[in-house]
Amino acid sequence: MIKLFSSYYKPHKKLFIIDMLCAFFMAVIDLVFPMVTRSLFNDILPNGKIRTFYILIGTLFILYILRAIFNYVVDYWGHVVGTRMEADMRNDLFSHIQTLDTKYFDETKTGHIMSRVVNDLREISELAHHGPEDLFLSVIMIIGSFIILLNIEWRLTLIIFAFIPMMIWFAIKKREKMSNAFRNVRKKIANVNSQLENSISGIRVAKSFANEEYEMRKFFEGNREFKESREFAFKSMAEFFTGINFLSNLLNLLVIAVGGMFVYRELITLGDLVAYILYINFFMQPVRRLTQFAQQFQLGMTGFERFVQILDIKPEIVDKENSIELKNVKGDIELKNITFSYNQKETVLKNINLSINAGETVALVGPSGGGKTTLCHLIPRFYDIEAGDIFIDEINIKDIAIKSLRKNIGLVQQDVFLFTGTIKDNILYGKPEATDNEVISAAKKANIHEFIMKLPNQYDTHIGEKGVKLSGGQKQRISIARVFLKNPPILILDEATSALDNESEIKIQEALEKLSKGRTTLVIAHRLSTIRNADNIVVLTDKGIQEQGNHDELMKKQGLYSRLYKLQFHNITDEIT
Ligand code: ADP
Ligand code: MG
């Protein structure tokens, strides 16, 4: 894992090395000041070497200007390295997620994926540059000052340094507690947020059940937990800072007390003691950096582990070697002995056989949960079948390049999804390089052009967030326009289950009829009136294909279809009267 992590440094190697060099020089310059002060007290001032004094001051001034430059590089370009690495990782992660199977998205909550991509990686960028930097700076400063002090008086140095590990240990422990506490606060605020969102979106339901009190109690509870988690976080923050301050004061006291004794016994000079005091106060910086590093390492690595976990998920549905690119598809579809299940528990489709000739329209009907949508999703390989084969123009779909397969299939799904953006963007999704005229012509065929022209910005009207809201029927027609533009030889229509108003219904029906002309069409119909003209009607239940034939044949047969048909017909007349 460290190896994978380091590989992300590679493209930014130059910047990273510059960053580390600057950090190194910063540490060295910091180490100089106490030494200068020491010789000021020990030698230069007592002996009146005023020229040396001026030279020293001048040198220090130049060093501090250099240090300011290094500091700027570390703070700015160091962050840049981290940010670029984070962006690279985020792109890799997103690209990888795009390749994952539909199954992964069935099983994983969107919010979960979002926090993987957005939050987890944020911790990594901090670690990526601060980590090595902090470690490097601290080690140089601690070792450097240790050696320098050791040369002045080794006993005093050892006494003082015995104190340092304890301080670091204390700081790391308390800091860990503090950051856990703050993480808990973030979790609680997320709860409050989702609770709030849920309650507000459901406010009409809450009101209709007169359940405001209940909603309030739920909210108060979440808010109380949030408040308590914050109180605890502030408590651990207070412990951390008070502890660190107290310990550093103790350290100062130790230096003055023991060092004072050493001066009194004339083991060291006053200038040496001043150097000790200055170096010891420097220590607070590495101690802070090291504790920060410990925490960042923990956070960053957990994030990175989760990043690697996702990268390790491999899609199962991938192109074979030498996969075939489809050309001039006629549109014959053949399903042979198909068996499929989402999980071990139940088999959704069993031994299904179905053949559709090029250009034909086949309708799938049957009770909800019978597996109609599932069957349609098997053709573009959203899921792979367990047993059996599907052929398009007598080529097994497993041998076809997946992109080529999907380019030849137009899918109008049950619940239409439109992306945030303009209407035009959404139609262009079917063929990104299409001209404006092609877009308009597709919209006209989909019976949505007139509606679009009435919108404030016409084709450039934003939909979704901050834009116009569209009805279910209008969304459907935009998604149909999208498929007109794509112009695939094979069409799969999953009719919306929710009822549309009559006008929408007629417009959509017209558009779909136009769309399916000259294409092989598999349509899942909920309103049986719409499929009277289908070449073949297949009744699918959880027990498999029950019967098939055209409308007249099935009506004559007086089986399931004729029962469903009559039932629906009655319902409709019921609704009308
Ligand atoms: P229909 O479209 O005929 O109403 P579906 O194909 O949607 O039926 O569903 C068939 C069966 O498969 C149902 O029992 C449903 O619960 C199950 N199912 C559908 N989609 C999934 C999924 N993504 N994961 C697991 N089970 C599913
Ligand atoms: Mg369905």
φ/ψ (deg, to 5) at 400: -90, 140
Instruction: Establish whether residue 110 lines the binding site of ligand 1, counting it when its CB lies within 6 angstroms of any ligand atom.
Output: no
Q: What is the pLDDT of residue 499?
A: 62
Question: CB of 473 within 8 A of CB of 461?
Answer: no
Average pLDDT over residues 356-378: 88
Measure 200 CA to ligand 2 centroid, in angstroms.
Answer: 30
Instruction: Establish whether residue 106 lines the binding site of ligand 1, counting it when its CB lies within 6 angstroms of any ligand atom.
Output: yes
φ/ψ (deg, to 5) at 385: -75, 155
Instruction: Establish whether residue 342 lines the binding site of ligand 1, counting it when its CB lies within 6 angstroms of any ligand atom.
Output: yes
Helix (H, G, I), strand (E, B) or coil at 441: helix
Lowest mean pLDDT among 80-94, 189-203, 230-244, 557-571: 557-571
The two structure tokens encoding residue 279: 């170096």
Question: CB of 212 within 8 A of CB of 219?
Answer: no
Q: Which residues contact 283 (CB under 8 A, 6 or more apart)?
A: 141, 142, 145, 164, 248, 251
Q: Which residues contact 533 (CB under 8 A, 6 or more apart)?
A: 361, 551
Measure 510 CA to ligand 1 centroid, in angstroms.
Answer: 28
CA 487 to centroid of chain Cα atoms: 33
Size of the chain, expressed as the number of residues it contains: 577
Helix (H, G, I), strand (E, B) or coil at 524: strand
Pocket test for ligand 1, best of 368, 373, 375 (most atoms within 8 A of CB): 373
Does position 4 have pLDDT exceeding 80, yes or no?
A: yes
Selection from 258, 228, 69 nearest residue 161 by Cα: 258
Q: Which atom of ligand 1 is nearest to the CA of 370?
A: 3
- pLDDT tens by residue, 387-396: 889 998 888 8
pLDDT band at 465; cut points 50, 70, 90:
low
Per DSSP, which regions of 263-402 are E strands? Answer: 333-340, 349-356, 361-365, 387-392, 395-396
Instruction: Establish whether residue 367 lines the binding site of ligand 1, counting it when its CB lies within 6 angstroms of any ligand atom.
Output: no
What is d(CA 190, CA 186) in angstroms, rounded to the nearest whole number? Answer: 6
**pTM exceeds 0.80, yes or no:** no
pLDDT band at 498; cut points 50, 70, 90:
low
Torsion angle in degrees (nearest 10) through CA of 439, 445, 447, 451: 20
Going by alpha carbons, the residue nearest to atom 6 of ligand 1 is: 371
- pLDDT tens by residue, 179-199: 888 888 888 887 888 788 888
Pocket test for ligand 1, best of 103, 106, 108, 342 (most atoms within 8 A of CB): 342
Instruction: Dump the DSSP string for 314-340.
Output: --SS-PPTTPBPP-S----EEEEEEEE
Q: What angle do CA 277, 283, 132 make, to 5 degrees?
A: 155
Measure 401 CA to ligand 1 centroid, in angstroms.
Answer: 26
Does position 56 have pLDDT exceeding 50, yes or no?
A: yes
Q: Which atom of ligand 1 is nearest to the CA of 494?
A: 2
Measure 110 CA to ligand 2 centroid, in angstroms.
Answer: 22
Instruction: Establish whether residue 369 lines the binding site of ligand 1, counting it when its CB lies within 6 angstroms of any ligand atom.
Output: yes
Question: CB of 365 within 8 A of CB of 534?
Answer: no
Q: Which residues contact 503 (CB under 8 A, 6 or more apart)?
A: 473
Selection from 356, 326, 352, 332 nearest residue 341 by Cα: 352
Measure 350 CA to ligand 1 centroid, in angstroms.
Answer: 14
Instruction: Dump the DSSP string for 557-570.
Output: HTSHHHHHHHHHHH
Instruction: Establish whether residue 298 lines the binding site of ligand 1, counting it when its CB lies within 6 angstroms of any ligand atom.
Output: no
